[in-house]
Amino acid sequence: MATKLNRKALEHARSLVKKGKVERDVRDDWSEHAPSTDDENSFIDKHGFDEFSIWHLGIDKEKSEGTKGSVSFPFGDLKKVHRCAIISLESRAAQYDHDDIRKAAKDLLEEIDAD
Protein backbone atom coordinates (compact mmCIF):
# COMPACT_ATOMS: atom_id res chain seq x y z
CA MET A 1 0.00 0.00 0.00
CA ALA A 2 1.49 3.27 -1.09
CA THR A 3 -0.65 5.66 0.99
CA LYS A 4 0.86 6.30 4.40
CA LEU A 5 0.10 8.55 7.34
CA ASN A 6 1.21 12.12 6.72
CA ARG A 7 2.78 12.84 10.12
CA LYS A 8 3.15 16.57 9.40
CA ALA A 9 -0.57 16.73 8.70
CA LEU A 10 -1.37 14.87 11.91
CA GLU A 11 0.68 17.36 13.92
CA HIS A 12 -1.02 20.24 12.09
CA ALA A 13 -4.46 18.80 12.90
CA ARG A 14 -3.55 18.30 16.56
CA SER A 15 -2.27 21.87 16.78
CA LEU A 16 -5.51 23.21 15.31
CA VAL A 17 -7.59 21.13 17.74
CA LYS A 18 -5.55 22.45 20.69
CA LYS A 19 -6.15 26.01 19.46
CA GLY A 20 -9.90 25.35 19.22
CA LYS A 21 -9.98 25.68 15.45
CA VAL A 22 -12.59 22.94 15.08
CA GLU A 23 -16.00 22.79 13.44
CA ARG A 24 -18.04 20.40 15.59
CA ASP A 25 -20.36 19.26 12.85
CA VAL A 26 -21.98 15.88 12.27
CA ARG A 27 -20.98 12.98 10.05
CA ASP A 28 -23.04 13.75 6.97
CA ASP A 29 -22.01 17.42 6.76
CA TRP A 30 -18.65 16.78 5.06
CA SER A 31 -20.04 16.68 1.52
CA GLU A 32 -21.30 20.24 2.04
CA HIS A 33 -18.32 21.49 4.08
CA ALA A 34 -15.46 20.11 1.99
CA PRO A 35 -13.57 22.74 0.01
CA SER A 36 -14.39 22.93 -3.68
CA THR A 37 -11.80 22.31 -6.38
CA ASP A 38 -11.65 26.08 -6.95
CA ASP A 39 -11.09 26.66 -3.22
CA GLU A 40 -8.28 24.10 -3.22
CA ASN A 41 -6.64 25.59 -6.30
CA SER A 42 -6.85 29.12 -4.86
CA PHE A 43 -5.34 27.88 -1.59
CA ILE A 44 -2.46 26.19 -3.46
CA ASP A 45 -1.85 29.32 -5.53
CA LYS A 46 -1.76 31.47 -2.41
CA HIS A 47 0.02 29.18 0.09
CA GLY A 48 1.79 26.51 -1.98
CA PHE A 49 1.34 22.77 -2.22
CA ASP A 50 3.29 21.96 0.95
CA GLU A 51 0.77 23.96 2.99
CA PHE A 52 -2.09 22.25 1.13
CA SER A 53 -0.66 18.80 1.82
CA ILE A 54 -0.73 19.28 5.60
CA TRP A 55 -4.53 19.31 5.40
CA HIS A 56 -4.48 15.62 4.36
CA LEU A 57 -3.70 12.65 6.62
CA GLY A 58 -2.75 10.46 3.66
CA ILE A 59 0.31 10.86 1.47
CA ASP A 60 1.47 8.68 -1.40
CA LYS A 61 5.16 9.02 -2.24
CA GLU A 62 4.67 6.92 -5.40
CA LYS A 63 2.46 9.60 -6.97
CA SER A 64 3.92 12.70 -8.59
CA GLU A 65 5.08 15.02 -5.83
CA GLY A 66 3.20 18.28 -5.63
CA THR A 67 -0.01 16.93 -7.17
CA LYS A 68 -3.43 16.55 -5.61
CA GLY A 69 -3.24 12.84 -6.40
CA SER A 70 -0.37 12.46 -3.95
CA VAL A 71 -2.51 13.44 -0.93
CA SER A 72 -5.72 11.98 0.45
CA PHE A 73 -7.93 11.89 3.53
CA PRO A 74 -8.60 15.62 4.01
CA PHE A 75 -9.60 16.62 7.55
CA GLY A 76 -10.72 20.22 7.17
CA ASP A 77 -11.78 23.13 5.01
CA LEU A 78 -8.28 24.69 4.86
CA LYS A 79 -9.19 26.89 7.85
CA LYS A 80 -10.53 24.55 10.52
CA VAL A 81 -10.58 20.86 11.35
CA HIS A 82 -14.03 19.45 10.68
CA ARG A 83 -15.34 16.71 12.93
CA CYS A 84 -17.40 15.37 10.01
CA ALA A 85 -14.26 15.05 7.88
CA ILE A 86 -12.48 13.07 10.60
CA ILE A 87 -15.45 10.69 10.92
CA SER A 88 -15.61 10.26 7.15
CA LEU A 89 -11.91 9.65 6.69
CA GLU A 90 -11.73 7.23 9.61
CA SER A 91 -14.40 5.10 7.97
CA ARG A 92 -12.76 5.30 4.54
CA ALA A 93 -9.32 4.49 5.94
CA ALA A 94 -10.72 1.40 7.67
CA GLN A 95 -12.47 0.35 4.47
CA TYR A 96 -9.17 0.43 2.54
CA ASP A 97 -7.00 -1.04 5.33
CA HIS A 98 -5.04 2.13 6.06
CA ASP A 99 -4.75 1.25 9.74
CA ASP A 100 -2.27 4.00 10.65
CA ILE A 101 -4.55 6.67 9.17
CA ARG A 102 -7.66 5.12 10.74
CA LYS A 103 -6.01 5.11 14.17
CA ALA A 104 -4.81 8.71 13.78
CA ALA A 105 -8.34 9.78 12.83
CA LYS A 106 -9.82 7.91 15.80
CA ASP A 107 -7.34 9.61 18.13
CA LEU A 108 -8.13 13.04 16.63
CA LEU A 109 -11.84 12.44 17.06
CA GLU A 110 -11.27 11.56 20.71
CA GLU A 111 -9.25 14.78 21.18
CA ILE A 112 -12.05 16.82 19.58
CA ASP A 113 -14.77 15.16 21.64
CA ALA A 114 -12.79 15.53 24.89
CA ASP A 115 -13.11 19.33 24.77
Chain segment 69-90, per-residue pLDDT in tens: 999 999 999 999 999 999 999 9
| pTM attached to this predicted model | 0.94
Question: Is the CB of residue 14 less than 8 Å from the CB of residue 80?
Answer: no
Q: Residue 15: what pLDDT?
A: 98
Distances (CA, A) of 34 to 21, 31, 75, 86, 99: 16, 6, 9, 12, 23
From the list 42, 63, 39, 43, the residue with the least C-alpha distance to 51 is: 43
Question: Is the CB of residue 56 less than 8 Å from the CB of residue 9?
Answer: yes
Mean local confidence (pLDDT), 94-105: 97
Chain segment 19-64, per-residue pLDDT in tens: 999 999 877 899 899 999 999 999 999 999 999 999 999 999 999 9
- What is the Cα–Cα distance from 85 to 30, expressed in whole angstroms? 5
Other beta carbons less than 10 A from residue 42's beta carbon: 13
Q: Residue 27: what pLDDT?
A: 73
Q: Residue 52: what pLDDT?
A: 98
Q: Residue 1: pLDDT above 80?
A: no
The domains of the chain are located at 3-114
Mean local confidence (pLDDT), 98-107: 97
